[in-house]
Amino acid sequence: MMPTLKISSDQNGKRLDVLLARAYPDYSRSFLQKWIKEGRVTRSGKELIANYRVRVGETIDVVDFSQTTSPLVGEVERSSGGGTIVRRIHPPSQPSPTRGEGVLVSPAVLYEDDSLLVLNKPAGLVVHPAPSHKGMTLVDWLEDYLGPKVTGLFSDASRLGVVHRLDKDTTGVLLVAKTVIAQHIISKQFQDRKVKKTYAAFIEGIPKAASGIISAPVGRSQNVPSRMAVSSQGRPSETTFEVVETFKEASQVSLHPKTGRTHQIRVHCAAIGHPIVGDRQYGAQNRWLKDYGIARPLLHAERLEVQHPVTRKKISFEALWPKDMKQALKFFRASSKALLLVLSLQVGAHAETVKHKTTQAAGPATGATEATSSTKSLKRQISSLKEQFKSLIEEVSALQDRVTGIQSSLDELGASGRLRDLEKAVSDLNGKAVNTANVTEETKTQVLDLSRKLKNQQEALDQLRDQVDHLQQQMIQTKAHEDATPPAASPSGGTEERGSGR
């Protein structure tokens, strides 16, 4: 049955679109104007326009919004959050692209009901059409998957029911609304920061703190317009993080963005000196592709929790890690285990030598005091060297982090390009440009100094290793000497020959 609106005296003279917006507050005004334009709002069978002024006593007929959404046939499941979820028993065939060029990388459907569609977005899939992107997008896929009865509900064909987005190379949970009212409710939850988002990522190096909050404004980069950056002109942004596991040269972290700025997580990780592994756009090292085959930023939208637009119950969705992140975790763990194995073998060898020496020293009475004293002395030296070794490793790691941070800063400022420009036009530079060049040179000098210091520390580390080997050789020689020395005669003459008495 078609809903009707009876115009009362206090509504007389109002615009039709304004009247509908008040009667249906869950729908946007642009959607209602589209509804009117398509002839779905009539008076006595005649189509109306959005700025039509209604009159008292008139009856306005409105096509029911829900008529365009048919229920899905599928297996009904109860989600962990209490909402009713409908999963398709037979997924539709792969859609044929309707726009753009190239091959469409299809997402996997995690959950679906009459109001929501939850996807696991693969890497390489752009969400919205853009002038800079000529290939297929998620919106192309949605047009074929949802069909015209659903896509026709939305006034913006370039967005449909997509209420948030992920970067092209970011994988994971992506939420799509299938009705206008669901889009409005979910979008409001994002605006009010009531949606809980959890991302998994690998970052370069090891943060000093096991958890923390990164609060820094994010805006468009003035040097590279295609990038974002921490800027005083940017919008307030906040990301919390927890370190899940550390490795030889990287860390696995769990990230929770409170705000949803473009590239926020990537910019914030780079800002604290730990860019996301594989994210060369924001300062990650180039060697990840060569050494590990990592061709994209290892960032994954792991979990999303919202309030269901119909049941109003909390419901969460989770996407399993993609293959490249699982493989990277294996590589990092294997690399860390190899390092720990080498260190444990070295320490274990020294400990066994000291233990063996102590046991030997507890045997014969003669020379026991000297052997015990020598063993204790060697043990103290080894313990001291181990402490120095540990301290040097920490210092080297800190220096490497500082070098990486300064190099990232130089990349952000485009220091190498600026230096070339300064060499070409040094005679035309004003005093301010000269000061900028000096600051850049000082930064470059700091990098060189840190690099030299790092080299010196590594040489010192090699020397300490040589000392440990030398001490081990001394212990071996001491043992050989003790074995070669005959035992002393006892007071009772147990080892001397007695006279014959003749």
Question: Known catalytic residues?
Answer: 167
Cβ atoms 159, 28 nearer than 8 A: no
Whole-number Å distance between alpha carbons of 422 and 424: 5
Whole-number Å distance between alpha carbons of 386 and 403: 26
- Among residues 80, 83, 109, 84, the alpha carbon closest in space to that of 94 is found at 109
Which element (helix H / strand E) includes 243?
strand 238-246
Q: What are phi and psi of 19, to 5 degrees?
A: -65, -45
Contacts of 282 (CB under 8 A, 6+ apart): 227, 263, 266, 267, 269, 270, 275, 276, 297
Whole-number Å distance between alpha carbons of 239 and 276: 14
Rg of the chain over Cα atoms, rounded to whole angstroms, equals 36
CA-to-CA separations, 23 to 13, 28, 29, 254, 455, in angstroms, rounded: 16, 11, 11, 44, 73
Whole-number Å distance between alpha carbons of 257 and 1: 45
